[in-house]
Amino acid sequence: MSTATDKKEAPQSQAAAPARTLWGDAFARLRRNKLAVLGVIWIIFIVLVALTADLWAPQLLGSPTEMDTTQAAATSKLPPSLEHPFGTDALGRDVLVRVIYGARVSLTVGLLATAISTMIGLVMGALAAYYGGLWDTIVMRLADIFLAFPYTLFVVVMLAVMGQGIQNVFIAIGILGWPSIARVFRSTILSVKENDYVDAARALGASDVRIITRHIFPNSVASIVVYATMNIGGAILTEAALSFLGMGVTPPNPSWGIMIQDGQQYLATQPWLMLMPGLAILTTVLAFTLLGDGLRDALDVKMKDA
């Protein structure tokens, strides 16, 4: 059957080039984005510090929760020094160790809340977009209802019902975060499912499940990865806001929001009490945003100049 072949049209590089996957390409592009790499390094650093904190932080800097009442007067509100790099708070606790343990809360809430939102959002968005019609109307109006309430107020109400505690915080943030993810996913699917390759799969006799998992999902997931990454930063901010309002993690457990709330009264005299956890929030949220931004560029199939 080689009569039909026409080697003129054959690819320019007949020599076997290594097969590159799209995810491999994306990784190569991400690595050249300096800001995104910076974000990744910062996130990895924070995660490592938070995970290993038990092994070294209390020995070096003291307990993040227990206060030394006998020496409270002598050790409280010390300015940053070699012994206490971020200073100490009103109860004589080291601010650095509290920021480190606060990272655990922030990262847990950020990741788990986003995971919950993403899972609900993916299912809802897929239902709305793939089946359309009545499903679309139900899911999207439900999303509108969720979005119509002031977000923070809604979370506060949910926490008031469920009670405080870190797991309730990420559950509440996670459950309330799905509408925007569902919307992003729905619009992506709507554009992806118009592609001929989806029709091609249908013409081949592929089942709905196969079309969704093999054709639509892999081509829509990029936008969700980007959105979810940025959403982590948003969830961290929400947790901080909740703790600041006294609805989040219960004292004496450290959380960046609680620390800012504790520190606000000393803003004029001991600014590091508020500044340090504030900087921790700023850099971490920024790192997730930079990573999300880099992922968006890296996952764009059209930018295949790698």
Partner 1 sequence: MADSNVLLRVEHLCKDFPVDKGFLAKHSKNARYVHAVNDVSFDIAAGETFGLVGESGCGKSTTGRCIMRLTEPTGGKVLFEGKNIAEMDKKALKSMRREMQFIFQDPYASLNPRMTIGEIISEPMVIHNTVPDKAERIDFVRELLDTVGLNPEHINRYPHEFSGGQRQRVGIARAFALRPKLIICDEPVSALDVSIQAQVLNLLTDLQKEFGTAYLFIAHDLSVVQHISDRVAVMYLGNMMEFSDWKTLYNEPCHPYTQSLLSAVPIPDPDIQGKRERIILRGDPPSPIDPPSGCPFHTRCPIAQAKCSQEKPELREVLPNHYCACHFAEPNPIKESSIEL
Which residue ranges make up the site for partner 1 (CB under 8 A)? 1-7, 9-11, 14, 16, 19-22, 195-197, 199-207, 210, 214-215, 218-219, 301, 304
Residues 130, 122, 172: CA angle, nearest 5 degrees: 140
Least separation, in Å, of the C-beta of 24 and partner 1? 10
Whichever of 22 and 162 has its CB closer to partner 1, that residue is: 22
Shortest spacing between CB 219 and partner 1, in angstroms: 6
Nearer to partner 1, 149 or 197 (CB): 197
- The distance of closest approach from Cβ of residue 37 to partner 1 in the complex, given in angstroms and rounded to an integer, is 25
Q: Which residues of 152-168 are buried (b: 16+ CB within 10 A; e: fewer)?
A: eebbbebbeeeeeebeb
Alpha-carbon torsion angle 248, 252, 253, 258, nearest 10: 50
Residue 115 three-state SS: helix
Q: Which residues, in sequence order, are CB contacts of 127 under 8 Å at separation 6+?
A: 135, 139
Number of other CB atoms surrounding residue 132 within 10 Å: 13
Supply the minimum distance, in Å, between the C-beta of residue 305 and partner 1: 11
Based on CB atoms, which residue is closest to partner 1, 167 or 195? Answer: 195
Q: Which residues contact 74 (CB under 8 A, 6 or more apart)?
A: 92
Cβ proximity to partner 1: between 3 and 70 the closer is 3
Q: Shortest distance, CB of residue 211 to partner 1, whole angstroms?
A: 10
Nearer to partner 1, 77 or 202 (CB): 202
